[in-house]
Amino acid sequence: DAKTTQPTSMDCAEGRAANLPCNHSTISGNEYVYWYRQIHSQGPQYIIHGLKNNETNEMASLIITEDRKSSTLILPHATLRDTAVYYCIVRVYRGGADGLTFGKGTHLIIQP
Amino acid sequence: SAVISQKPSRDICQRGTSLTIQCQVDSQVTMMFWYRQQPGQSLTLIATANQGSEATYESGFVIDKFPISRPNLTFSTLTVSNMSPEDSSIYLCSVGIQGTSSYNEQFFGPGTRLTVL
């Protein structure tokens, strides 16, 4: 699985869009970009994933650059409950068949 | 999706003892995993719990220290054996859902917070 680089921490004002970057310059053609988050004292939660097209669901949007070497997770209207550690994971899609490799992630703090 | 429960939610144990953590899923799942999260750190995969066969351990983790059972498709246990303070961590169970249209790949339990004195 390709290595990812994320900022250690970020702040965002409540109600604004939170944009979390992830660098994955060594990504290969069959690897997907996944995002999970871990709210304090809870298990990680799946957010979204994509291959090369931009994706949107009820939680977030995922923007992947054309060369696929980086991506951005967007939380359109951040709330205090979005304060969490966000993990960007790059891996081949295996439909849940094997475990995940977590990096250090970005600690997103939503400020009131 | 899947709803996962773990028991106990937390425990304080003495060094040299063992603790068995239970993971229960509300539906049959193919893949179950165990992770460790040391204080202030990210999650590390311990092993894949295989139904009907021995677990598959990641580098740095061994069966004698972390024996795992998987008697059926909804239940697994992780034992932390001969504990030391370095084993103080949160232990999480997760399940993998294969081939679902929602593509929600893995679901995690709430974790078991273990403190070893």
Q: What is the mean pLDDT of residues A16-33?
A: 94
CB pairs under 8 A between A and B: 64
> B-chain residues within 8 Å CB-CB of A85?
42
Per the structure block, which two tokens stand in for A2? 């390709």
DSSP, collapsed to helix, strand or coil, labels residue B53 as: coil
- What whole-number distance in Å separates Cα of residue A100 and Cα of residue A105? 13
Q: Identify residues of B whose CB sits under 8 angstroms from chain A CBs.
A: 4, 30-31, 33, 35, 42-45, 48, 58, 92, 94-100, 103-111
Q: How confident is the model at residue B104 (pLDDT cuts 50, 70, 90)?
A: low
- What whole-number distance in Å separates Cα of residue A88 and Cα of residue A3? 10
**If we measure between CA atoms, which residue out of B15, B3, B1 comes closest to residue B114?**
B15
CB contact under 8 Å between A102 and B111, yes or no, is no
pLDDT tens string A38-94: 999 899 999 999 999 899 999 999 999 999 999 999 999 999 999 999 999 998 877
Asked which of A27-31, A58-62, B50-54, B94-98 is least confident by mean pLDDT, the reply is B94-98
